[in-house]
Chain A
Amino acid sequence: NAGVTQTPKFQVLKTGQSMTLQCAQDMNHEYMSWYRQDPGMGLRLIHYSVGAGITDQGEVPNGYNVSRSTTEDFPLRLLSAAPSQTSVYFCASSSYHRGVNEQFFGPGTRLTVL
């Protein structure tokens, strides 16, 4: 299994540009989530999904959209990038219906907004 994959690994955007961060998992996990990691702030939940067709907001959802059309994919869209969105973004997945399991994290996407 490849586990959780994220693309791209690095991205530089200009203010106002839009883009999509890709996340895919091949473990048939129901639960997927997006976090951003900023120095001194740990990981903060942006959006999460408990299954295909179901998404919900986390702690810091503003400026981001998600969709979950398949179990495998959970893309994160930045609608109009702002410098405050400069961060490292992690996607994670876990098996939800079998109770609490560990979250498996992708390698991250380092985003810089100029």
Chain B
Amino acid sequence: AQSVTQLDSQVPVFEEAPVELRCNYSSSVSVYLFWYVQYPNQGLQLLLKYLSGSTLVESINGFEAEFNKSQTSFHLRKPSVHISDTAEYFCAVSVSGNQFYFGTGTSLTVIP
């Protein structure tokens, strides 16, 4: 089975500051990588995904993540966060496209 590690359970950051949420996975084979966001009392929504091609992927709201095969990482970054970015963020991995394995989540709190 895959394992996904999100080392930071809580990340407080001031508004307009940059942020990086870390994600590492265990597989040595080709994987598909995802970041999901969960706002309070809601389900998960896809933020961005890496399937193949360019290792840098972007979302429509300014987040980006870079697939690093040698370090088996898929860290999520944003150069300037907003209050509305306060949420729980989950990294997920799929090998077959069938089963998805999720990290334990990182709670991002943006401080005014």
How many residues of chain B are within 8 Å of chain A by beta carbon? 25
Contact assessment for A45 and B99 in the assembled complex, using a CB-CB cutoff below 8 Å: yes
Q: Which of B64-112 contact A (CB under 8 A)?
A: 90, 94, 97-105
Known contacts: A105-B44, A105-B45. The answer to whether A99 contacts B99 by CB under 8 A is no
How many residues of chain A are within 8 Å of chain B by beta carbon? 25
B residues in contact (CB < 8 Å) with A: 1, 4, 6, 9, 32, 34, 36, 42-46, 49, 51, 90, 94, 97-105
Give the tally of cross-chain contacts (CB within 8 A): 52
A61 interfacial contact with B, CB 8 Å: no
> B90 to nearest A CB, angstroms?
6
* Interface pick from A12-20, A35-43, A70-78, A79-87: A35-43
A residues in contact (CB < 8 Å) with B: 4, 31, 33, 35, 40-45, 48, 50, 58-59, 90, 92, 96, 99-100, 102-103, 105-108
| Distance, CA A48 to CA B94, complexed state (A) | 14
